[in-house]
Structure 1
Amino acid sequence: MQGINFIAIDFETATGKRASICEAGICVVRDGKIVETRSWLVRPQGNSYSYWNMQIHGIRPNDTADSPEFPEVWTEISKYLKDIPVLVAHNAAFDIGCIRHSLELYGMEKLEITYYCSLRAARKLYSFGCNSLDYLCDQFRIPYGQHHRAGDDAEMCARLFLKELEDAGWCGWEEMGNCGGKL
């Protein structure tokens, strides 16, 4: 899959607010191959968590008490985006919303980034009754680590999106245009 370059991204949040990122994960894909997966624990503003969010991902305030805040982590992620300004997320509305709300909260500049949604692509390509990330990965025997941990979910998303591109007979990003947008 020569020329297929993107960064799959995933966020976990401490509360129901999109700007309460407590973990960020990326999976870098170059020429259709996964070359790196990273994750960062992030201290959300006030380091406060909701019970329900902790039940989903297992991250607690003491896990992020000494972690960097979003601006520092975003600076690191942005270094990857300079080379590959294309993001992919499963349910991109959530993850792109996390980026937008966090950039606004911290008064940071928005980058010129194109994004695609593997959930929207799945709904377009397949006729499963469920399109959750873990369900789709199970259907396609895509291996994954700990679901609802950002690095693992980013890599699951990357593997799923590569499968979707293959199944769509991908020839160019414009074919996936109805599955994405601009940051």
Structure 2
Amino acid sequence: MAIDFTAIDFETANGSPASACSVGLVKVRDSRIVDRASWLIRPPIGHDEFSHWNVRIHGIREVDVAHAPRWVDQHDRLLDFVGDDVLVAHNVGFDKGVLKAASLASGLVVPETRWTCSLRIARKTYHLDSYRLPVAAMAAGFEDFAHHDAAADAEACATIVTHAAGRHGASDLEHLARICATRIEHLGPDDDRRLAREPAEAWWRP
């Protein structure tokens, strides 16, 4: 199975999708994790207030990102890691929205990227009471991780997708998406379609 992709997870400082304060990335080749990266981000100016609620969720404070690169300074590093991969996120609308909003807030062109959703894949793979990331990850055999740590969440997402691909006998990521009644979505500078998102999940992830 040629299951190749990069799993991604963002955490945000507040309710604005532009307020990225950390990112986790996990690269998968042939259903195996081959590389990982994560770092803190200073959110774009105007989106850099840290709300009490978000800090309670992920534990990242304003002081923690005081010397971190702004979005505009780490944008190329993120894209270099991803390369030509499809990005996979758990509730793709959230993370796709962060990439778009943070880029626009930083005066950058929205990069051409392709995406699919581990949440939708999980819903077509497991029979669970909840499809929140920790629950779906446990079904895939990935347990006891630090939820809302971007690096750990990206690895959980990657594990769900590779485990699902094995269960479905998918030949590649596009095949898995078709089996799971989802698709590979596009995001780019000319893409003016509404961001795909699950109803009622808005900008927060399960």
How many residues align structurally? 181
Give the aligned partner of residue 185 of structure 2.
181
**C-alpha RMSD of the superposition:** 1.5
Give the aligned partner of residue 90 of structure 1.
90
Cα distance in 2 between the residues matched to 1:85 and 1:111: 13
Q: Does 1:19 pair with 2:23?
A: no
Give the aligned partner of residue 157 of structure 1.
157
How far 1:93 sits from its partner (Å)? 0.6
Name the SS for the 2:124 alignment partner.
Answer: helix
Letter of the structure 1 residue corresponding to residue 22 of structure 2 = E
How far 1:123 sits from its partner (Å)? 1.3
Q: Which runs of 5+ in 1 are unaligned?
A: none
How far 1:179 sits from its partner (Å)? 4.0
Q: Does 1:33 pair with 2:37?
A: no
How far 1:144 sits from its partner (Å)? 5.1
Give the aligned partner of residue 75 of structure 1.
76
How far 1:127 sits from its partner (Å)? 2.3
Q: Does 1:65 pair with 2:63?
A: no
Letter of the structure 2 residue corresponding to residue 44 of structure 1 = P
Cα distance in 2 between the residues matched to 1:32 and 1:109: 31
Name the SS for the 1:125 alignment partner.
Answer: coil
Letter of the structure 2 residue corresponding to residue 128 of structure 1 = L
Name the SS for the 2:38 alignment partner.
Answer: strand
Identity %, equivalent residues: 37
Q: Is the 8 A contact 2:27 2:34 kept in 1?
A: yes
Q: Does 1:115 pair with 2:115?
A: yes
Cα distance in 2 between the residues matched to 1:110 and 1:157: 23
Give the aligned partner of residue 56 of structure 1.
57
How far 1:116 sits from its partner (Å)? 0.9
Q: Is the 8 A contact 1:118 1:179 kept in 2?
A: no
How far 1:59 sits from its partner (Å)? 0.3
Cα distance in 1 between the residues matched to 2:140 and 2:3: 20
Q: How does 1:2-13 map to 2 (within 5 A)?
A: 3-13=2-12
How far 1:129 sits from its partner (Å)? 1.6
Cα distance in 1 between the residues matched to 2:166 and 2:160: 10
The alpha-carbon distance between structure 1 residues 179 and 118, as it changes in their structure 2 partners (threshold 3 A), is farther
Q: Is the 8 A contact 1:86 1:113 kept in 2?
A: yes
How far 1:136 sits from its partner (Å)? 1.3
Q: Which structure has greater helix proportion?
A: 1
TM-score (norm 1): 0.92
Name the SS for the 1:45 alignment partner.
Answer: coil
- Deviation string 1:42-65 (CA, Å, 9 cap, x unpaired) is 011343200000000000000001
Give the aligned partner of residue 132 of structure 2.
132
Cα distance in 2 between the residues matched to 1:179 and 1:124: 13
